Amino acid sequence: MNENDKTPYVVSSKSYTAVAINCAAKAGEWIKSKLGSVKQLSTKTSPQDIVTEVDKGAEQMIRKLILTHFPDHAILGEEGVEPGAEAAARALQAAQEEEYLWIIDPVDGTTNYVHGFPFYSVSIALAHRGEVIVGVIYDPSRDELFVAEKGKGAYVHGNPTYVSKESQLSESLLATGFPIDSKVNLPLNMAELHALLPKVRNVRAGGSAALHLAYVAAGRLSGYWEHGLSAWDIAAGALLVQESGGAVTDTDGRPFDLSVRNIAATNGLIHQGLLDTLKEAGEGSVR
């Protein structure tokens, strides 16, 4: 190449999915290698909202890798956005129209990671004009890699994933996440738990939105709901659930898109039952 030619070198012929897998696997291995040796723990919007140098380093690693292959693609990564719900919504709004937008959560489940509780993940999605076409979630603790491609199904290490078959709430295992917003979302979530717990087998709160969604996709959970999330928490997982035969909406039943903050994802069979109970609980709670 002529040394005056400033055209960036682009590694060609790698599929989007292959790049997403490569990024998630590399970042996941690195994150795991740093487990137990976090040096800088800081808080964002509240003492419960934490970030470490590992979150930031992993996001840098993923960004570099993506741009090596696709220098003209846009990236929305959690650590590149100011903390807080409004900033997250603004960043998404600004990026949503991009032709290709990568959406990254470098460590989903930072609290678990910091405490050595082995339930955290790397979540990477690619959206084409606002529609998620690739979703990859990697769990380094179990070396489980979940992959979905729009219209082509979802897989965990090459084996197709399918949602579970429970058709009644009474047979269902659900998951949720406890919100950090103590004014609105936390009381609402408590009312929902109060309403749901007597109706279902049980409810878990594992602490990684992305892994909860991957588990719904893989049939390990019948459903999952949570309030106050951002696109990087759920973009990849929503595609995994859809491609595994499940249903994903917001908690009011509107179809999933990248702006959804209150998510409900199920095997489809219990979806309406879950939404109905959430509605009843919401009506009785301070909103």
Residues that bind ligand IPD (CB under 6 A): 105, 108-110, 177, 207-209, 226, 229, 233
The partner in contact with residue 192, picked from Ca ion, ligand IPD, none with C-beta cut-offs of 5 to 8 angstroms by kind, is: none
Show the tokens assigned to 136.
């990859």
Give min distance, CB of 5 to ligand IPD, in A. 40
Q: How far apart are the first and last CA of the chain?
A: 62
Q: Are the C-beta atoms of 233 and 105 separated by less than 8 Å?
A: yes
Rounded Cα–Cα distance for residues 61 and 26 (Å)? 8
Smaller CB separation from ligand IPD, 19 or 231: 231
Smaller CB separation from ligand IPD, 16 or 120: 120
Give min distance, CB of 207 to ligand IPD, in A. 4
The partner in contact with residue 149, picked from Ca ion, ligand IPD, none with C-beta cut-offs of 5 to 8 angstroms by kind, is: none
Rounded Cα–Cα distance for residues 242 and 245 (Å)? 5
Q: Are the C-beta atoms of 260 and 241 separated by less than 8 Å?
A: no
Bridge-partner residues for 225, per DSSP? 176, 264
Give min distance, CB of 52 to ligand IPD, in A. 10
Smaller CB separation from ligand IPD, 40 or 168: 40
Give min distance, CB of 224 to ligand IPD, in A. 10
The partner in contact with residue 177, picked from Ca ion, ligand IPD, none with C-beta cut-offs of 5 to 8 angstroms by kind, is: ligand IPD
Give min distance, CB of 209 to ligand IPD, in A. 3
The partner in contact with residue 223, picked from Ca ion, ligand IPD, none with C-beta cut-offs of 5 to 8 angstroms by kind, is: none
Ranked by CB distance to ligand IPD, the top (closest) residue is 177
Q: Residue 145 corresponds to which amino acid?
A: L
Would you give the binding string for Ca ion spanning residues 204-243, x where CB under 5 A is met?
A: -----------------------------x----------
Q: Are the C-beta atoms of 37 and 113 separated by less than 8 Å?
A: no
Rounded Cα–Cα distance for residues 270 and 57 (Å)? 39
Bridge-partner residues for 266, per DSSP? 223, 247
DSSP, collapsed to helix, strand or coil, labels residue 5 as coil
Rounded Cα–Cα distance for residues 193 and 261 (Å)? 18
Show the tokens assigned to 236.
């990849």
Closest CA to 48 of 122, 117, 110: 110
From 27, 95, 103, 108, residue interacting with Ca ion (rule: CB under 5 A): 108
Bridge-partner residues for 122, per DSSP? 138
Would you give the binding string for Ca ion spanning residues 165-184, x where CB under 5 A is met?
A: --------------------
Match 């959430």 to its residue by tokens: 278
Residue numbers 55-84 binding Ca ion by CB under 5 A: 78
Smaller CB separation from ligand IPD, 176 or 267: 176
From 105, 149, 243, 250, residue interacting with Ca ion (rule: CB under 5 A): 105
Residues that bind Ca ion (CB under 5 A): 78, 105, 107-108, 233
